[in-house]
A and B are shown apart, each in its own frame.
Chain A
Amino acid sequence: MSIDKKPACSVKELSAYNTDQMMTWCGGCGNYGIQNALKRALVLESIVPKDVLMCFDVGCNGNGSDKIGTYTIHGLHGRVLPLAVGAKIANENLHVIAAAGDGATLSEGVNHLIHAVRSDYPILFLHHDNQNYALTTGQASATTPQNCKMNGTPEGVRIDVIDPLDLVFSAKPSFVAQTTSIDVDHMTETIQAGLKHKGFAFIQILQTCPTYNKIMTDEWLLQNTQRVEDLPSYDVHNLTEARAFIEKSKKLPIGVLYKNPRKENFIQTLSHREKYKTTLIEEVKSVDIASHLSTLKG
């Protein structure tokens, strides 16, 4: 992949998304690249900061919540998905983006992930998977490799890991992608694809954590990933094949792994709302209940 193919992203447009807050991530942290790619993707999709609602979970990624100049909410640990969904249901015109780490997504709030996929809420979700609880100083998460010695598990975790892609696929998603924090261009493209998707866009970001994750390093990611776009026979619209491919692939596949543009998202399933052209925020006014009261009369 070469950078010169990419459309230009002007400094001025990008700077609209920047704030003057000091970065507080460790040197080499994957979050720098992720936030950079996110800002670029927003600019390239011609989305202005005023139309974006960023919803951050608690964790290292959440420490980036003051470093992006959008409408932003920094909520509770594990609960960012329903928070973001509530906002999106209220105002469909907002581009609602939720970000959370592997601790929040696969442990504290794993129920929300399953139901968000199942319900196909029309938001973009960035899963920052650095395979550990970094902000609380490197405890094991559900994606920490087996037997890897971590803070709190000096002998290593013996139980099986949760495979986020497998879990998401089991809930019949409409959009699944995987990318890595070491490749800003690839992340940008992937996030752009997610922004364009009309349902729940799940993006798994393999994120380096130079402080606590000594296995999934930049080099490791370079050697162990493979772009599905480079595979001529890969069918991005076939869920069964996508799952089978991921299972047998020696390298971790990256790119858009599956999409189903025809699936009805949650808002589209609300048939009683078809006649409404407005968002819920425009409808806050007294609704006449006279017909309902009359059924209660003697």
Chain B
Amino acid sequence: MERTRIKIVGQSGSGLLTAGDLVAKGLQKLGFQLCADREYQSLIKGGHSCYTINFSKTPVHSLSREADILVAIDKPSLVAYFDTLKEEGIFLHGYEKLANLPDILKKIEEQNIKTVNLPSRKIALENGGTMQMANIILTGMAWKVLGFDYKIIEQLVQEKFSKKKALVEVALKCLKASYDGAETKQNIELPTKKEETILLDGNHAIALGAINAGMRFYATYPMSPSSSILTHVANMSDDTGVVVKQAEDEITAVQMSLGAMFAGTRALTATSGGGYDLMTESVSLAGIIENPLVIVLAQRPGPGTGLPTWTAQGDLNLAIHSSHGEFPRVVIACSDVEDCFDNVQHAFNFAEKYQVPVILLTEKVVCESKMTVSPFTQNKIKIERGLASNLADLKPEDRYRITENGLSTRWLPGSCDTTFFANGDEHDEAGVLDESEKAGDMYAKRMRKLDLIQADLPKPKVYGKEKDADISFVGWGSTKTVMNDIIAQYEKKGVSVNFLHFEVVWPLEEEVLNTFFVQNKNVHLLEGNYEGQFGKKVEACGHTFKNKFLKWNGRPFFLEDVCEYIDNYAKQ
């Protein structure tokens, strides 16, 4: 079945998030698979925002730029988003003065758009509510237009307002009036086989994954789009006992995290580009004292404050090359909700096993896109601490012993009579400052861990056919989601598309990459930044892309973007 694409638009503060969540949750209850994302501006009230939901009976991984149904809560958003409605689409609104918008009226007529209108202000007032109820009224209308059972949305609204007794009655009246007042325009087949799913976004999945992996301390400083990890971890802390600290700045957050990991718990911190910039000196310290550290770097477009609430893949070079000096590190990129849950667990394991900093890259579209996924399997990824099992006969020099593979024994302060010295200055095995020519030996010991790490990392994965695809793409992070949908879509058209996706972006795995380029002749880069940062790393391995599809305007790669690119390229 084709996907259905809804956009609910409204000013920030109009209750659009509630409306979107109600519809998304209702669709989940009906057994649909969905992907939903919020576009919004960096403000609390006003502006215009959009809650997009794409749903289908089969898995939906990414979003479409266009909408089949546009639900407008207020006028500014109606105007801003009207053009995203497809020809012959359905336009739902509660605005009483559409006559004052001649451009919109003209388009409605020209493009044969079906309009569903109920006076939301009147309905709200008649039912004892205020204009704030417009979101519930539009939700009722949308649910009826889609042709779904009233009981489901009724129950969700009841749950939503259960803590606000005075509002629940008004909300249900408004919902009923709007549901009854609208008519069904869509004939959507319901899923017959209901697979159990959970509906959540990437940040929520990171919080859950970290807790499941034994994270006991979360220190952070709020910065979009990483901030909701704090919300989720804090909301669960009563039950989990996790210590949550909103620190005075990002340097504090990362230093606390580093200190807590040094002492021997699992700690996490998260930030975005600007906050990460502040953390970089600490990343370097973790490198020289060989201390585990896990930082979530949630990307948004920079430089400077950039576009705080939009998406990007522009901080890849930052994650790989940040911090002074040379030291081994791992950079893992999350593509979707399931990856977030798994990768934060892998991140802790790599950090502890190899005593290195691990940077977990996400993107706004990964952080905040909600998806239906199979309920997570707990304990799927074993906790690996990389700690000494035998504390007898340890010598202080064992902590930084120069070994063949670069890895030395790690034990925890307080666990053993043998103490050790973790020195941020270059040091000998005892941790003592070493300014002799032999200082290079310790340097090389640390760098040797890279080979060990490389051998243990998961390999990049090819989606679609292994070889001889009509068109091939290479990418990392969220581009996997759009390529998953594209591959399936083009298979039906008889065009073979494949995609080499890197989950671990650093250290770069070259074997699978080389094979991919040997086996596919029409390879393109798909990346969300201006320079094609990952592409340049691939080129440095001696490969040449036929062309590069890059995007840096704050929006994710929509389905249409990649379709247009493939179709245009096929014409050339």
Question: Are A280 and B260 in contact, with the CB atoms below 8 A?
Answer: yes
Does A29 make an interface contact (CB < 8 A)? no
Q: Once the chains are docked, how many angstroms separate the CA of A272 from the CA of B30?
A: 37
Question: Are B217 and A280 in contact, with the CB atoms below 8 A?
Answer: yes
Does B88 make an interface contact (CB < 8 A)? no
What sequence of 0s and 1s flags, for each residue 272-298 of chain A, a beta carbon within 8 Å of any chain B beta carbon?
110110011101111111111100111
Question: Are B414 and A272 in contact, with the CB atoms below 8 A?
Answer: no
Residue of B nearest to A66 (CB): B432
Does A84 make an interface contact (CB < 8 A)? yes
Q: Once the chains are docked, how many angstroms separate the CA of A255 from the CA of B245?
A: 33
Question: Are B258 and A83 in contact, with the CB atoms below 8 A?
Answer: yes
> Quick one: given A83-B259, A90-B216, A91-B263, are A71 and B420 in contact (CB under 8 Å)?
yes
Q: Once the chains are docked, how many angstroms separate the CA of A275 from the CA of B237?
A: 13
CB < 8 Å neighbour of B211 from A114, A270, A287, A297: A287
Residue of B nearest to A109 (CB): B251
Interface residue ranges of B490-541 to A (CB < 8 Å): none
Q: For chain B, what secondary structure do more than half of its interface residues adopt (helix, strand, loop), or is it mixed?
A: mixed
Q: In the complex, what residues of A have CB within 8 A of residue B289's CB?
A: 73
Range, interface on chain A: 35 or more
What sequence of 0s and 1s flags, for each residue 260-285 of chain B, a beta carbon within 8 Å of any chain A beta carbon?
11111111000000000000011001
What sequence of 0s and 1s flags, for each residue 416-432 of chain B, a beta carbon within 8 Å of any chain A beta carbon?
11011111110000111
Stretch among A3-11, A74-82, A162-170 lining the B interface:
A74-82
Residue of A nearest to B376 (CB): A293
What sequence of 0s and 1s flags, for each residue 27-68 of chain A, a beta carbon within 8 Å of any chain B beta carbon?
000000000000000000000011101010010000001100
Range, interface on chain B: 35 or more
Does B462 make an interface contact (CB < 8 A)? no
Distance from B239 Cβ to chain A, minimum over Cβ atoms (Å): 7
Does B306 make an interface contact (CB < 8 A)? no
Does A148 make an interface contact (CB < 8 A)? no
Q: Once the chains are docked, how many angstroms separate the CA of A111 from the CA of B217?
A: 21
> Quick one: given A283-B241, A287-B214, are A82 and B421 in contact (CB under 8 Å)?
no
Q: In the complex, what residues of A have CB within 8 A of residue B187's CB?
A: none
Q: For chain A, what secondary structure do more than half of its interface residues adopt (helix, strand, loop), or is it mixed?
A: mixed
Q: In the complex, what residues of A have CB within 8 A of residue B204's CB?
A: 296
Question: Are A86 and B413 in contact, with the CB atoms below 8 A?
Answer: no
Question: Are A91 and B432 in contact, with the CB atoms below 8 A?
Answer: no
Does A191 make an interface contact (CB < 8 A)? no
Question: Are B282 and A74 in contact, with the CB atoms below 8 A?
Answer: no
Distance from B352 Cβ to chain A, minimum over Cβ atoms (Å): 9
What sequence of 0s and 1s flags, for each residue 100-126 of chain A, a beta carbon within 8 Å of any chain B beta carbon?
000000000001101100000000000
Q: In the complex, what residues of A have CB within 8 A of residue B264's CB?
A: 90-91, 281, 284
> Quick one: given A50-B419, A298-B28, are A281 and B379 in contact (CB under 8 Å)?
no
Q: Once the chains are docked, how many angstroms separate the CA of A90 from the CA of B212?
A: 18
Does B199 make an interface contact (CB < 8 A)? yes
Question: Are A89 and B378 in contact, with the CB atoms below 8 A?
Answer: no
Q: In the complex, what residues of A have CB within 8 A of residue B448's CB?
A: none
Interface residue ranges of B24-42 to A (CB < 8 Å): 25, 28-31
Does B383 make an interface contact (CB < 8 A)? yes
CB < 8 Å neighbour of A281 from B25, B211, B263, B282: B263
Question: Are A297 and B196 in contact, with the CB atoms below 8 A?
Answer: yes
Does B213 make an interface contact (CB < 8 A)? yes
CB < 8 Å neighbour of B251 from A49, A82, A284: A82
What sequence of 0s and 1s flags, for each residue 9-32 of chain B, a beta carbon within 8 Å of any chain A beta carbon?
000000000000000010011110
* 30 contacting pairs across A/B (C-beta < 8 A): A50-B419, A65-B421, A66-B431, A70-B419, A71-B413, A72-B420, A75-B255, A75-B424, A79-B281, A82-B253, A86-B219, A86-B267, A87-B260, A87-B413, A88-B259, A90-B265, A90-B267, A91-B414, A94-B413, A111-B249, A112-B248, A281-B216, A281-B263, A281-B264, A283-B241, A284-B214, A286-B383, A291-B239, A292-B239, A293-B208
Binding site for B on A (CB under 8 A): 21, 49-51, 53, 55, 58, 65-66, 69-76, 79, 82-91, 93-94, 111-112, 114-115, 270, 272-273, 275-276, 279-281, 283-293, 296-298
